[in-house]
Structure 1
Amino acid sequence: MDQQTQPVQISFGEQNCRCVSNIVFNKRHVFAVGTWNAKKNNEIYVNEYLELEQKIVQLYKIPINGMVEKIIAKKEQLYVIYIDPQQRKTKLCCIELAENGRHQVNFDLLYEGLTNVICPEDDPIIYLSSNKSIIQFDLNKQSFDNIIDDNDLYNLCEQDPHHKNLFVRSQNNYLCIQDTREKKVNKFKAHSLQILDIDFNPNKQYYLITGGEDCLAKVWDIRKTQYAIKSFEDLQNSVLQAKFNKFHDQLVSLSFDDGTISLYNITSVSSVPQLNKEDDYLVKQYDEHEDSIYGLSWSRGTAWVLASIGYSGHMIINTVPTTEKYKILL
Structure 2
Amino acid sequence: MDYDAPVIYGLEFQSRALTSYSAENDLVQFFVGTQSLRCTNQIHLITFDDEANSISKQIFNHPEGEIWSLATPPSQKNILTSVYSKVNGNKTEMQATVWKFISEDGDISISDEENTITSTLTEIFKINNSDLGDIKGFLWYPSVEKNDFVVLIENHIQLYSLDINGSSAALISETMIDGKLHPKFTTGIWDPHHNCTSIVTAQDTSVKGWDLRSMKQTYTIENAHTYLVRNLSYNPNKQYYVASCGDDCKAKFWDVRKVNEPVKILNDHSHWVWNVKYNHFHDQLVLTSSSDGTVLLNNLSSISSEPFGNLLNDEDGDDDNEADKNDHHSTLADGIVMRYDEHEDSVYALEWSSSDPWLFASLSYDGRLVMSRVPRSIKYQILL
So what's the TM-score if we normalise by structure 1? 0.93
- Structure 1 CA distance for aligned equivalents of residues 216 and 151 of structure 2: 19
CA drift at 1:185: 5.0
Q: How many residues align?
A: 328
User: Which residue of 186, 189, 199 corresponds with 2:219?
Assistant: 186
- Of the three residues 262, 269, 275, the one matched with 2:303 is 269
8 Å CA contact 2:270, 2:292 repeated in 1:
no
Amino acid paired to 2:135: L
Report the structure, 1 or 2, having the larger strand content.
1
What SS class does the counterpart of residue 327 from structure 1 fall into? helix
Shift of 1:223: 1.2
Q: 2:205, 2:224 within 8 Å by CA — same for their partners in 1?
A: yes
Seen in structure 2, the aligned counterparts of structure 1 residues 48 and 111 have a Cα distance that, compared at 3 Å, is farther
- Cα displacement (A) at 1:238: 1.3
> Taking structure 1 as reference, are residues 193 and 139 closer, same or farther at Cα in structure 2, changes over 3 Å only?
same
Can you list the C-alpha shifts for 1:142-161, whole angstroms capped at 9, x where unaligned? 32033321223221122211
Contact 2:189 / 2:201 at 8 angstroms: preserved in 1? Answer: yes
Residue deviations 1:156-195 (CA, integer Å, cap 9, x gap):
1222111333222112111122334364553311011111
Residues 20, 99 of structure 1: CA spacing in aligned structure 2 closer, same or farther, 3 A cutoff?
A: closer
Distance 1:59 1:182 in 2: 40
Cα deviation 1:202-253 (Å, max 9, x = unaligned): 1210111111110110011111101000101343221111101111111000
Q: Paired residue for 1:253?
A: 287
CA contact (8 A) 1:92 1:111 kept: no
Runs of 5+ in structure 2 lacking a partner? Answer: 105-118, 310-325
Amino acid at match of 1:48: T
The residue type equivalent to 1:322 in the other structure is R
CA distance in 2, matches of 1:99, 1:198: 30
Structure 1 counterpart of 2:344, which letter?
A: E
Give distance in 2, aligned partners of 1:26 and 1:159: 20
Native 8 Å contact 1:125 1:136 kept in 2: yes
Cα offset for 1:55?
A: 1.2
Return the alpha-carbon distance in structure 2 between the equivalents of residues 37 and 230 of structure 1.
38
Distance 1:329 1:185, change over 3 A: closer
Cα distance, 1:65–1:248 mapped onto 2, change above 3 Å? same
Give matches, 1:205-216, under 5 Å.
Answer: 205-216=239-250
Task: Give the whole-Å Cα distance in 2 for the aligned partners of 1:274 and 1:51.
Answer: 30
Farther off after superposition, 128-137 or 271-280: 271-280
Shift of 1:27: 2.1
CA–CA distance in 2 between the matches of 1:138 and 1:194? 31
Equivalent residue number for residue 107 of structure 1? 125
SS at match of 1:5: coil
Task: Using the TM superposition, give the Cα deviation of residue 281 of structure 1 relative to its aligned residue in structure 2, in angstroms.
Answer: 1.6
RMSD: 2.0
Give the aligned partner of residue 234 of structure 2. 200
Corresponding position of 2:176: 149
- Distance of 1:270 and 1:79 partners within structure 2: 31
Q: Is the 8 A contact 2:84 2:95 kept in 1?
A: yes
Which of structures 1 and 2 has the bigger CA Rg?
2
CA distance in 1, matches of 2:185, 2:248: 19
Rate the CA distance shift 1:82–1:158 in 2: closer, same or farther, 3 A.
same
Match of 1:223 in 2: 257
5 Å-filtered alignment, 1:90-169, equals 90-100=94-104, 103-112=121-130, 113-120=134-141, 121-122=143-144, 123-140=146-163, 142-152=169-179, 153-163=184-194, 164-169=196-201
% same residue: 28
Q: How far does residue 22 in structure 1 lie from its aligned partner after superposition?
A: 0.1
Aligned to 1:324: 378
Equivalent residue of 2:379, what SS? helix
Structure 2 residue corresponding to 1:20, chosen from 18, 32, 36? 18
Tell me, yes or no, if the aligned pair for 2:28 and 2:354 is still in contact at 8 Å. Answer: yes
| Partner Cα distance (1:148, 1:222) in 2 | 22
Secondary structure of the 1:146 match is strand
Task: Determine if contact 1:72/1:80 at 8 Å carries over to the other structure.
Answer: yes
Kept in 1, the 8 Å contact 2:136–2:187? The answer is yes
Preserved contact between residue 65 and residue 84 of structure 1 (Cα < 8 Å): yes
| Structure 1 position 131, deviation (Å) | 1.3
2:333 to 271, 276, 279: 279
Q: CA deviation at 1:292?
A: 0.2
Alignment match, 1:293 = 347
Return 54-63 or 210-219, whichever deviates more: 54-63
- How far 1:286 moved relative to its partner? 0.3
The CA distance in 2 between the partners of 1:209 and 1:269, in whole Å, is 11
Sort the Cα spacing of 1:8 and 1:85 in 2 relative to 1 into closer, same or farther, 3 A.
farther
CA distance in 2, matches of 1:184, 1:243: 24
How many angstroms apart in 2 are the aligned matches of 1:260 and 1:312?
Answer: 14
State the distance in 2 between where 1:128 and 1:156 align. Answer: 10
Q: What is aligned with 1:52?
A: 51
Equivalent position amino acid for 2:189 in 1: E
